Structure 1
Amino acid sequence: MVGSDRREHSRTAMSAKVKLVHEQLGEFVFSTRDISDGGVFIVLGEQVFEPSIGDCVTVQVQGLPVPAPILDMVVVRRTIDGFGLQFADTAE
C-alpha cells in the first residue's frame, strides 16, 4: 500500500452504463468511472440515490449485444459524486 490508499486492487478507468437495482430505493441507470477486480465506482450525475454503507444491490452492464450477467454487489463507500461497490463474493 502506498500512502493512504487502502485499495487492494488496481483500478482501470471505464465508462459504461449499468442498471442498478436496490430493493428499497428502486431501479436506476448510472455510469461507471472505474472498475477493478474488487468492484466498481458509480457516478451519480444528477440522480438522487442515497444507499447506506453495507446495502446490497444488483448491477448489470447495459448496451451489450447480449444480456450481461446480473451481479450482486455491496455499497462500501460514498463520496460527493458517487459511490463504490464491491462484488458480493469479495465483501468482508
Structure 2
Amino acid sequence: MSGADRRQHLRTAMSATIRLVHDELGEFTFSTADVSDGGLFIIVGDQAFEPAIGDLVTVQVQGMPVPAPILDMKVVRRTDDGLGLRFELDPAQEGAS
C-alpha cells in the first residue's frame, strides 16, 4: 500500500438506500457510494449527522423484496462527502463459513 491509500479491499460503486441508527444521534436515511468486503461509504450530504470516529451504528439496506439484515458497523473515516463505515463482525461468526 502506498501513499494515503491504505485500503485492504477492492471498492465497488453501488448506490443503495440505507437506514442508519446511532444510539445517541437517532435514525437517518443515506445513500451509499461504494461497498467492499470491509465496509461501505455513505453520502451524508447536508444532513446534520456528525458521529465521532469509532462510534458504532447499525445499518440496514432498504427497498429489498425481503427485509435485509441489520448490520453492526463502526465509523472509521470522514470526508467532505460522507463517512466510511467498517463492518463489525460478531465474535461468534468470525471464522464461520
TM class, shorter-chain normalised?
A: over 0.9
Matched with 1:38 is 38
Uncovered stretches (5+) of structure 1, i.e. residues with no partner: none
Mind listing any 5+ residue stretches in structure 2 that lack a counterpart? Answer: 91-97
Q: Percent identity?
A: 70
| Counterparts of 2:12 and 2:31, CA distance in 1 | 14
Name the residue aligned to 1:16. 16
Question: Deviating runs (4+, > 4 A) in structure 1?
Answer: none
Q: Which amino acid in 2 is paired with 1:29?
A: T
Post-superposition offset of 1:80: 1.0
Question: Hey, what's the Cα distance between the residues in 2 that align with 1:36 and 1:54?
Answer: 19
- CA-based RMSD: 1.2
The normalised TM-score by structure 2 is 0.89
SS in structure 1 of the partner of residue 89 of structure 2: helix
- Cα offset for 1:46? 2.0
